[in-house]
Structure 1
Amino acid sequence: MNNSDVIRRLRQQLQQLEQEVLQHDSRLPASQKKLMQDTERFNEQLFYQSGAQLGPCIMQISNSIAHLEKMLKGNISNGTIMLACEQIQDRFTAVKRALSTTDIDVKAAQQTKASRIAKAKKRRQQSHSDSGFDWIAAGVMHNSHQLYDELKKHHNWVLKFEQKIESLQSQLESCHSADKIALQNEILLVHRRLGKCRKAISYIEDRIQAFERPYKSYNR
């Protein structure tokens, strides 16, 4: 395959992907666009892009193909050209994966927003007053250490679930089409578990606050 054929095939591949992206972006509700406007969906080495819409990625891939075409006309080593081709293919793969995971990413953004609102509400409700009784504070910490241990354990689970979701999403790149639905369902299941774990964290934090409230009230 000569250089012209390489560029021609890449542009054909890009044209097909662009049509898929245009359809994807046109179906996005305004609420989802607003919800994910600051969400980074790609590694910064692949794209400079944020938000649910994938249109900006097409232009960046097009620029990469144009740059490759200039490289092919110059005195550039085969290794450098191969690397550039691999990077372009990585970008194609990343956009394909993003097309299939938008619903999952939206659900994750909704959970993150709900968690942020809940935490902000909780902060407004909490009373911050210094007791001045160090011995009472020490007693509270001593008796409630199990609650804090449980809180730490759930935070660790959140991290593991987030890492699991990232790993599963990366598997979609090489996943056979027949297995894709099952893999996406698994990702949704882990998202549900992540949501339950975050709710458990909020519950534990409420229990800690309720446990300590009598001591704070005593000092007011």
Structure 2
Amino acid sequence: MNQSQLIAKLRVQLQQLEQQVLQYDASLPAYDYKLLEHLERFNDELFRQHGAKLIPCVQQIRDNINQLEKQLQLQMSAATVARTCERIQDRFSALKRAMATTAIDVKEQQQQKSSKQRYFQKKQSQQHQSSGFDWIANQVMHSSHRLYEELNKHLNWEKKILFKIEQLQSQLDTCHSTAKIALQNDLLLMHRRLGKCRQAISYIEDRIQVFERPQQNNHR
């Protein structure tokens, strides 16, 4: 395959993907759209995109293909061309994966929304002891320094879980059908852990505000 054929093939593949994305965006239920509206669905290194609609990602892939065409015309180094090709491939895979895992993303957002609603109801009724995170308050409530340490620990856990989710999603794209169910179960488990971790982060942040508020009032 020569260079012209390569570029032509990539553009045909992108055109096919664009039709899938347009259909995806148009068929996304309004409730799901609202849930995903503020969700960061990609690493910033992959796409500059936030929210439910995925069509902005198609133009970014198109820009990469145009960039590759210029690099080939200018006979740039093989390493430079290879990096661009790899980026195009990664973006194709990530965009397809985002469409395939929408149900998981929506379920996670529903769980987070429900968790936040339950949490604020408990907060208003001053029933923090039944929140499920009272062990954090019991251990570190006496010290804002300890609270920040606990917060950093949970933020690190969140990063590790997100990295594991990306790994599992990547494996899911290339695995055999016999292993797909096990990977999907592992992925759901990691999303549940992510939800619980983020619940704990929200709780700790609220505890920090409660702890520091009297100190702020004393300095007035």
Same fold (TM over 0.5): yes
Give secondary structure in 2 for the equivalent of 1:44: coil
CA distance in 1, matches of 2:45, 2:198: 30
Distance 1:93 1:189, change over 3 A: same
Give secondary structure in 1 for the equivalent of 2:5: helix
**Equivalent residue runs for 1:52-201 within 5 Å:** 52-126=52-126, 159=158, 164-177=164-177, 179-192=179-192
Query: How much identity, in percent, do the aligned residues show?
Result: 54
CA distance in 2, matches of 1:10, 1:66: 10
CA RMSD after TM alignment: 3.6
What are the Cα deviations for residues 95-138 of structure 1, in whole angstroms up to 9, with x where unaligned? 111121110011111112222223333333339xxxxxxxxxxx
1:167 Cα shift?
A: 3.2
Aligned residues: 186
Residue 13 of structure 1 corresponds to 13
CA distance in 2, matches of 1:87, 1:30: 32
Distance 1:181 1:161, change over 3 A: same
CA distance in 1, matches of 2:195, 2:72: 49
1:190 Cα shift?
A: 4.2
Higher relative contact order (CA 8 A, sep 6+): 1
- What letter matches 2:19 in structure 1? Q
Structure 2 unpaired stretches of 5+: 128-134, 140-149, 205-220
Q: Is contact 1:39–1:51 with CA below 8 Å preserved after alignment?
A: yes
1:38 Cα shift?
A: 0.8
CA distance in 1, matches of 2:44, 2:9: 26
CA distance in 2, matches of 1:198, 1:110: 13
- After TM superposition, the score normalised by the length of structure 2 is 0.68
Distance 1:70 1:24, change over 3 A: same
- What letter matches 1:38 in structure 2? H
Structure 1 unpaired stretches of 5+: 128-140, 146-151, 206-220
- After TM superposition, the score normalised by the length of structure 1 is 0.68
What are the Cα deviations for residues 166-192 of structure 1, in whole angstroms up to 9, with x where unaligned? 432232232235543442243234445
Structure number with bigger Rg: 1
1:74 Cα shift?
A: 1.5
